[in-house]
């Protein structure tokens, strides 16, 4: 990945001091302004390259669109539902979190709530403070031998499973991503949700909040569960339908709930909080000294590693960048961007309908994804309100109705890998083929013109389409000289049977391509 310059970072919430220390030790200017209103953050953010938040700051589209220099939003914690990821992606901003920073703390709180639900610990403690001795009222149940359903088998779900297994609980679960054989290796039998609900004595949820998980536990779900099932939510408010949960509690279908998160925080409606069978906390999942230190330190280290070109960890919207941290990938990205730029110049920024990117050769086997994005960067540059980059290029193309296809195939005899790009516009189809030779990106073909000498994709380049002629080079040289430009290199096609593309490296671009009309049927120029 090309280095990203992060010179200044705004921290909008209280994070561990190590976050600021690490950033400043690496030459980044840090400002801390906590508890800003939305309008204050909109006014402030325009001066910064990076923003670090926890969960209280809502990074809305308005804030993102006001951030002219912003390149990264770092969430010191798990999940990014307080960040408008789509708006950030559209603007080419990396959104990063610390997926493992609060894993242990969230898992331990989940276990604490499960145990508290089984033995009524908070209620009994409160009764004692009121001077009572109600042993019979707080009769509990053992966890041993009970079935725990874990919905979401990521890092936290896995840690919860291992801890509750030590209490003798049977752990079953569901996750659309984690393979069943993986979860089975740490003692969790996976099954469909329809199979899971009726078996559980306890249910805990550990999923992100997204359209598919909103209201995952609802009236219909509770009706399928055992009567008296107990539920825990230390993930995100809204995964359990709060109105449905209250109805289930009042009917006895749900025997108790441990809630650390709510749809509205702090909740204005206290019906759930005040229910005698509900144990509630003010979003304490990550509220341990260890988790806060870990999250603050992790987000700073991840940002530093990214700008130093070491690796990219925790990025939720920039998976395409994960394979771009080698010198070889930098060269391939430059190649793809340059090929895209050549095609843009040759199509005169016409409306694109379809783009096909094909890579060939073993050296490009794992690069097709980011090379496709890089081609789009070169092709779409200047086409939109924001500058395209590897993060937003695909989404910008999709938004514009451009069909993007990519493929990789084995090289047929070519030592170096090649990148072939075909662009379909409303009036024509243009093709280009490039490669990296001697560490330099070169153009091998443009449409049906195979260059006898590969075109070095750097500097000022003038492309023109003309019939072959012994006087062509001298004529072009004279014409360019009249325009105040000198020829620095010349690439001719190997086939002279029809009109073909030629390329001239020039000292400066022509002020008007119309000067080439006496010689060329088509012309394009660009600076790379």
Catalytic site positions: 236, 265, 283
Element at 431 (helix H, strand E): strand 429-437
Q: What is the rounded CA–CA span in Å between residue 352 and residue 242?
A: 48
For residue 32, which of 96, 19, 298, 22 has the smallest C-alpha distance?
19
**How many C-beta atoms surround the C-beta of residue 407 within 10 A?**
12
Instruction: Tell me the three state secondary structure of residue 5.
Output: coil
Cα 493–Cα 334–Cα 380 angle in degrees, nearest 5: 85
Element at 327 (helix H, strand E): helix 327-346
Contact 225, 198 (CB under 8 A): yes
Instruction: Tell me the DSSP string of 229-289.
Output: EEEEE-S-TTSB-HHHHHHHHHHTSEEEEEES--SSSS-S--TTTTSTTEEE-SS-TT-SH
Instruction: Tell me the three state secondary structure of residue 494.
Output: coil
Contact 115, 143 (CB under 8 A): yes
Distances (CA, A) of 64 to 46, 263, 428: 9, 23, 37
Q: How many CA atoms lie within 13 A of 113 on its CB side?
A: 32
Give the full edge-to-edge strand order of the sheet including 278-280: 189-190, 170-174, 147-151, 202-205, 229-233, 254-259, 278-280
Residues with Cβ < 8 Å from 228, sequence gap 6 or more?
252, 253, 254, 255
Q: What is the rounded CA–CA span in Å between residue 86 and residue 400?
A: 15
Pairing of strands 278-280, 254-259: parallel
For residue 429, which of 354, 338, 493, 370 has the smallest C-alpha distance?
354
Instruction: Tell me the DSSP string of 74-94.
Output: EESSS--TTB-HHHHHHTT-E
Size of the chain, expressed as the number of residues it contains: 528
């Amino acid at each position: 990945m090309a280095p990203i310059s992060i010179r200044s970072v705004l921290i909008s919430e209280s994070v561990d001091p190590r976050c600021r220390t690490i950033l400043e030790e690496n030459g980044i200017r840090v400002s801390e302004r906590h508890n800003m209103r939305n309008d204050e953050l909109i006014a402030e953010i325009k001066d910064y390259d990076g923003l670090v938040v926890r969960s209280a700051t809502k990074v809305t589209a308005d804030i993102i669109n006001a951030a002219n220099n912003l390149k990264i939003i770092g969430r010191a914690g798990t999940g990014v539902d307080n960040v408008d990821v789509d708006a950030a992606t559209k603007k080419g901003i990396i959104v990063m979190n610390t997926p493992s920073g609060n894993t242990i703390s969230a898992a331990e709180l989940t276990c604490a709530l499960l145990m508290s639900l089984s033995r009524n610990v908070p209620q009994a403690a409160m009764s004692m403070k009121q001077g009572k001795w109600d042993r019979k009222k707080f009769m509990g149940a053992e966890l041993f031998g009970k079935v725990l359903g874990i919905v979401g088998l990521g890092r936290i779900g896995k840690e919860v499973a291992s801890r509750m297994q030590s209490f003798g609980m049977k752990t079953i679960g569901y996750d659309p991503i984690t393979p069943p054989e993986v979860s089975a290796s740490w003692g969790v039998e996976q099954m469909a949700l329809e199979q899971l609900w009726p078996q559980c004595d306890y249910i805990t949820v550990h999923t992100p909040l997204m359209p598919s998980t909103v209201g995952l536990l609802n009236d219909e779900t509770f009706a399928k569960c055992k009567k008296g099932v107990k539920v825990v939510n230390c993930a995100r408010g809204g995964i359990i339908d709060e109105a449905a949960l209250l109805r289930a509690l009042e009917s006895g279908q749900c025997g108790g709930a441990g809630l650390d998160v709510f749809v509205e925080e702090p909740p204005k409606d206290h019906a759930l909080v005040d229910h005698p069978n509900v144990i509630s906390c003010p979003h304490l999942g990550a509220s341990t000294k260890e988790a806060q230190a870990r999250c603050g330190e992790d987000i700073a280290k991840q940002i530093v590693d990214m700008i130093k070109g070491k690796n990219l960890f925790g990025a939720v919207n920039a998976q395409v960048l994960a394979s771009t941290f080698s010198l070889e990938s930098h060269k391939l990205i430059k190649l793809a961007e340059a090929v895209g730029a050549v095609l843009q110049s040759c199509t005169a920024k016409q409306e694109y309908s379809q783009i096909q990117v094909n890579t060939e050769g073993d050296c490009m086997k794992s690069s097709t994804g980011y090379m496709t994005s890089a081609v789009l960067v070169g092709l779409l540059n200047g086409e939109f309100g924001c500058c395209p980059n590897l993060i937003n290029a695909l989404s910008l193309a999709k938004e514009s109705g451009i069909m993007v296809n990519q493929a990789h195939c084995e090289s047929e005899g070519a030592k170096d890998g090649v990148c072939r790009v075909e662009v379909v516009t409303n009036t024509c189809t243009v093709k280009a083929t490039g490669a990296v030779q001697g560490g330099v990106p070169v153009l091998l073909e443009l449409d049906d013109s195979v260059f006898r000498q590969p075109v070095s994709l750097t500097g000022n380049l003038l492309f023109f389409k003309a019939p072959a002629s012994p006087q062509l080079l001298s004529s072009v040289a004279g014409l360019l000289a009249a325009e105040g430009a000198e020829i620095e290199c010349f690439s001719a096609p190997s086939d002279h049977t029809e009109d073909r593309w030629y390329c001239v490296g020039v000292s400066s671009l022509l002020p008007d391509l119309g000067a080439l009309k006496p010689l060329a049927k088509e012309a394009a120029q660009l600076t790379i």
